Amino acid sequence: MSQTRERILDALQAQVAQAGPAGATLDAVAARAGVSKGGLLYHFGTKEALFAGLLERLRAHAAADIAGWESGGDDLVSGYLRSSSDAGGDYTAALLTALRLVGTPGVDVEGAVVDSFGLWSDALARHLDDPVLARLVTLVGDGLYLHALVGAAPDDLDHAVVDGLAGRARAAAPAPESD
Separation of alpha carbons 27 and 36, rounded Å: 8
pLDDT tens digits, 131-160: 999 999 999 999 999 999 998 877 888 888
Alpha helices, DSSP H only, in the chain? Answer: 3-19, 26-33, 37-43, 47-71, 76-84, 90-100, 109-127, 131-149, 156-172
Q: Tell whether 65 and 134 lie within a shared domain.
A: yes
Does residue 89 share a domain with residue 29? no
Shared-domain flag, residues 71 and 135: yes
Whether residue 19 is predicted with pLDDT greater than 70 in this model: the reply is yes
Q: How far apart, in Å, are the Cα atoms of 63 and each of 52, 59, 142? A: 17, 6, 17
- Do 91 and 126 sit in the same domain of this protein? yes
Q: What is the mean pLDDT of residues 2-28?
A: 95
Taking residue 62's Cβ as centre, other Cβ atoms within 10 Å add up to 22
Cα 110 to Cα 1, 29, 59, 104, 114: the distances in Å are 23, 23, 12, 11, 6
Domain of 12 in residue numbering reads as 1-45
Note the pLDDT tens digit of each residue in 48-86: 999 999 999 999 999 998 888 888 766 888 888 888 988
Distance CA 18, CA 164 (A): 41
Q: How many other C-beta atoms are found inside a 10 Å radius of the C-beta of residue 102?
A: 11
pLDDT band at 101 (very low <50, low <70, confident <90, very high): very high
On whether both 81 and 157 belong to a single domain, the answer is yes
Query: Is it the case that residue 99 has pLDDT exceeding 90?
Result: yes
> At 1, is the pLDDT very low, low, confident or very high (cuts 50, 70, 90)?
low
Whether 9 and 64 share a structural domain? no
Q: Is the pLDDT of residue 179 over 60?
A: no
Q: Tell me the average pLDDT of the chain.
A: 90
Same domain, 26 and 88: no
Give pLDDT, residue 74.
67
Q: Is the pLDDT of residue 28 over 70?
A: yes
What is the number of residues in the chain?
179
Domain co-membership, 78 together with 125: yes
Same domain, 17 and 84: no
Mutual orientation of helices 3-19 and 47-71 as an angle, nearest 10°?
Answer: 110
One domain for residues 126 and 153: yes
Domain count, the chain: 2
Mean pLDDT confidence for 119-132: 90
